[in-house]
Structure 1
Amino acid sequence: MAKAVDNTVLDAALDKIATATRASLCSGQPANFAGIAAVALADVTIDSGDFTKADGDTSGRKVTVAAQSGVTVDATGTGTHIALDDGTTLLYVTTCSSTAVTSGGTVDLGAWDVEIADPS
């Protein structure tokens, strides 16, 4: 028996992620919204204009998070994760290439995708 999901179902989840108002470069995976403060190295304010929804690369749907340039670094460390939050809820966390940063400097966060594949 085949499996299927309508794009509106996948888009609803991606639309929620796109309510994020902050992207944080973190030294580890925060467990929840409050945990971001303990691992955040740099953060930047984002809005709905920083998200673009489209068909997934192989199936399903995706939302691309726009690149952010010149983000001020607040703490020295090695960034390994990027967290998205809306000011009260940790919405999404992903890994990133390890990036050493120094307090007072800046860091560029490249564009990246959140992708939800069709069921198989």
Structure 2
Amino acid sequence: MAKKVDDSVLDAALNEIAGNCDLMTVCAGEPAGYAEANVGGANFLADVAMSAGDFTLSDGDVSGRKLAVASKSGVTVDQGGIADHVALLDTANSRLLYVTTCTSLELVASSELTFNGWDIEIADPAV
């Protein structure tokens, strides 16, 4: 029996992120929730403002749909540490929308950081 999903279903999940994310943070370790990933939180190292224009929805690389997250440069590091996670936050509603790993990088306070562009991808269901 085949499995199918309409693109609009996958888009709804990805649009929830694109339409509500207003802050991207880099963290030392996986944040347990919103407070830990947000400015001043236990895992927080640096942040950059985000808007709907920083996200692009398209077909997935293999299947399904993907949300491309724009790169951001010149981001000031607030706190030194080993960055290994990136979080997308909805500060208006105190929600941790998405967390992923990133290549480990030692950050020094007051230095500048570049967030490379990256994708969130939801695959079509497997047969």
Coarse TM-score class (shorter-chain normalised): over 0.9
User: Taking every aligned residue pair, what percent have the same amino acid on both sides?
Assistant: 52
Q: Which residue in 2 is equivalent to 1:109?
A: 115
Q: Which residue in 2 is equivalent to 1:35?
A: 36
Which has the larger displacement, 83-92 or 34-43? 34-43
Q: Which residue in 1 is equivalent to 2:5?
A: 5
How much has 1:34 moved relative to structure 2? 1.1
Say what the alpha-carbon RMSD is for the aligned residues.
0.6
User: How many matched pairs?
Assistant: 120
Structure 1 residue ranges, 4+ long, deviating more than 4 angstroms after superposition: none
Among 92, 96, 101, which residue is 1:90 paired with?
96
Q: TM-score, normalised by structure 2?
A: 0.93
| Structure 1 position 100 matched with structure 2 position 101 | no
Can you give the 5+ residue segments of structure 1 that lack an aligned partner in the other structure?
Answer: none
1:69-102 Cα offsets, whole Å, 9 max, x none, are: 0111000111000000010100000000011110
Partner-residue secondary structure (3-state), 2:14: helix
Q: Which residue in 2 is equivalent to 1:25?
A: 26
2:99 counterpart letter in structure 1: V
Partner-residue secondary structure (3-state), 1:34: helix
